[in-house]
């Protein structure tokens, strides 16, 4: 994988993204896993669209994630100049984040979330990611290596909560909170249907007393990324973890929904969001 990563990094980006798009089509045709889940999720989220429109979103989703897969493979060789060349960081967002020493960064598997940490580092914003351990040991080693090449700091979900709280004393802590949280989560709605979201954000927010920020890294039609964040403010937030978690996650889901409606092909529909 490291050899492939090095070889891919030497391909001009426009060609690389085109190859990634074709690879996404290849995966759609020959690798059926999760295809039905993705199409079902799209239909549930956009019931007013016709079958052809559902299929178009599905096709474009495969193309998009083919692109960002190849982008991720070349990411270990991105330098500061390259990152600033392909990513535009909203100036107002940058100012808001720079005015705080620490906080909780809430995002989703949407757009290209992997590029959030590198561009934070370029702008002198200390961000530590909470990441999921990959089931395949080789893949996990490669993912960890690729992220660390961009000076990423990672805490795995299996590690202690106290370690995560320690991070919040002088760093941003990043979480992607769009996956189904099961019985350990709280009930909220997403595209009008009930799902389960994690309590982590409210736990960190209430106990560490740090602000929350919601943002995404979106791939635009010119193949450049735009990243922006806004402060998540919920008035009269309860001190009860479960109750506050419902309010926080519901507001987050509302913001995520609005963005997905603009760029439906950039959401990772392959998760089993509703069960």
Question: What per-residue confidence (pLDDT) applies to 237?
Answer: 86
pLDDT digits (tens, 9 = 90+) for 240-263: 999 999 999 999 999 999 999 999
Measured distance CA(109)–CA(274) in Å, rounded: 16
- Tell me: pLDDT of 152 over 90: no
Return mean pLDDT, the chain: 95
Question: What per-residue confidence (pLDDT) applies to 236?
Answer: 81
Measured distance CA(1)–CA(6) in Å, rounded: 9
pLDDT digits (tens, 9 = 90+) for 133-145: 888 889 999 999 9
Tell me the percentage of the chain whose pLDDT exceeds 90.
Answer: 89
Instruction: Give 31's pLDDT tier (boundaries 50, 70, 90).
Output: very high
pLDDT digits (tens, 9 = 90+) for 88-108: 999 999 999 999 989 999 999
Listed in sequence order, the residues at least 6 apart from 138 whose beta carbon sits closer than 8 Å to its beta carbon are 1
- Tell me: pLDDT of 15 over 90: yes
HSE (side-chain half, CA atoms, 13 Å) at 35: 14
Question: What per-residue confidence (pLDDT) applies to 201?
Answer: 92
Instruction: Give 72's pLDDT tier (boundaries 50, 70, 90).
Output: very high
Instruction: Give 239's pLDDT tier (boundaries 50, 70, 90).
Output: confident
- Map residue 233 onto helix, strand or coil: coil
- Tell me: pLDDT of 121 over 90: yes
CB atoms within 10 A of CB 184: 9
pLDDT digits (tens, 9 = 90+) for 177-194: 999 999 999 999 999 999
Helix 51-74 vs helix 2-9: angle between axes, to the nearest 10 degrees?
A: 100
Report field, pTM of the whole predicted structure over 0.85: yes
In the chain, what are the domain boundaries?
2-266
CB atoms within 10 A of CB 141: 13
Question: What per-residue confidence (pLDDT) applies to 106?
Answer: 98
Cα angle for residues 120, 106, 249 (degrees, 5° grid): 170
């Amino acid at each position: 994988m490291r050899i492939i990563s090095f070889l891919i990094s030497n391909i001009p980006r426009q060609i690389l993204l085109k190859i990634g798009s074709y690879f996404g089509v290849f995966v759609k045709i020959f690798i059926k896993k999760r295809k039905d889940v993705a199409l079902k999720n799209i239909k549930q989220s956009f019931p007013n669209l016709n079958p052809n429109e559902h299929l178009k979103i599905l096709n474009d989703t495969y193309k998009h994630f083919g692109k960002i897969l190849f982008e991720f493979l070349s990411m270990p060789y991105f330098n500061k100049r390259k990152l600033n060349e392909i990513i535009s960081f909203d100036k107002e967002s940058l100012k808001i984040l720079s005015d705080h020493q620490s906080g909780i960064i809430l995002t989703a598997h949407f757009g290209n979330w992997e590029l959030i940490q590198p561009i934070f580092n370029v702008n002198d914003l200390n961000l530590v990611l909470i990441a999921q351990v990959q089931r395949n040991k080789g893949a996990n080693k490669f993912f960890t290596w690729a992220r660390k090449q961009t000076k990423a700091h990672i805490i795995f979900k299996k590690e202690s909560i106290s370690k995560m709280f320690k991070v919040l004393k002088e760093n941003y802590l990043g979480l992607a909170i769009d996956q189904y949280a099961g019985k350990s989560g709280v009930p909220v709605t997403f595209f009008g249907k009930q799902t389960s979201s994690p309590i982590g954000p409210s736990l960190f927010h209430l106990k560490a007393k740090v602000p929350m920020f919601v943002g995404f890294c979106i791939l635009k039609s010119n193949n450049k990324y735009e990243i922006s964040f806004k402060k998540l403010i919920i008035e009269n937030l309860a001190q009860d973890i479960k109750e506050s978690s419902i309010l926080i996650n519901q507001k987050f889901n509302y913001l995520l929904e609005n963005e997905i409606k603009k760029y439906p092909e950039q959401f990772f529909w392959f998760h089993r969001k509703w069960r």
